[in-house]
Amino acid sequence: MTIDLAALKADNLARWQRATSRREFSAAARRLAESKVRYQVVSVHTGVPWYVIAVIHERESNQCWAASLAQGDPWDHVSIHVPAGRGPFDSWEDAAVDSLANCAPYAARWKDWSIGGTLTLLEQYNGLGYARRGVPSPYLWAGTDQYRSGKYVRDGVYDPDVVDKQLGCAGLLLAMKALDASIFPTTTSVPSVPTPSAPALSPRPSITRPAKGSIGDLVVGLIRAVILTFKRS
């Protein structure tokens, strides 16, 4: 059965717009957001937004830095789970780039990073078995009111009564968005992610260079205006 990705995108966007949390997402969201710079390193090399990488990392290995983004196997060994035969790699970042660029669903080739597009890519990352059954994927919706039960307990084996205990990607993204405004910007194209670097330090305020917007800044501005008027007269 072929899945209409455009229809799935619309369904996922509609679920996002009405989803509410039924479990606690804030602690995991904060933990993922605190690692933003490390995820940005991988984003620079793949074009995949950092927050997408973060939620995949959480789902695949509970954000374990010793485990590959592809399937949770140790990245310093050859993987045995699907995708099998990957690695070993020199670092978590190297394994993550390989996973996103060289393994299905080839997230580095994805171009639609709108909300619906992102959720549809994430659903493909876990497989479209749920979409074929017409049910919400727990990979996305576990922990929200959009999901009740049903899970593939192993490849090709679906149990409608099993409840996914992990937090879903959509709920994580909703909680992370509340912490970081860069999540789901208005553009639907691949965002341009700058190479992570230390922010430039602002000069320390002084008498001759007071903090912008302070009373001292106003006084200095008035003095300069008076001096400029005097010089022109």
Mean pLDDT of the chain: 85
DSSP state of 198: P
Q: What whole-number distance in Å separates Cα of residue 136 and Cα of residue 53?
A: 21
Residue (of 41, 143, 138) closest to 96 by Cα position: 41
DSSP state of 143: T
Q: What average pLDDT does range 56-77 have in this prediction?
A: 96
Alpha helices for the chain (secondary structure H)? 5-18, 26-34, 36-46, 50-61, 92-102, 115-126, 129-133, 138-141, 169-177, 215-232
Residue (of 164, 161, 159) closest to 144 by Cα position: 164
Q: What whole-number distance in Å separates Cα of residue 166 and Cα of residue 163?
A: 9
Q: What whole-number distance in Å separates Cα of residue 230 and Cα of residue 233?
A: 5
The alpha carbon of 28 is separated from its chain's Cα centroid by a whole number of angstroms, namely: 12
Q: What average pLDDT does range 70-93 have in this prediction?
A: 95
The vertex-126 CA angle with 124 and 132, nearest 5°, equals 65
pLDDT, tens only, 114-131: 999 999 999 999 899 999
Q: Yes or no: say if 72 and 81 are a contact pair by the CB < 8 Å rule.
A: yes
pLDDT, tens only, 172-226: 999 999 999 989 985 444 434 344 443 332 333 433 344 455 444 544 454 454 3
pLDDT, tens only, 23-44: 999 999 999 999 999 999 999 9
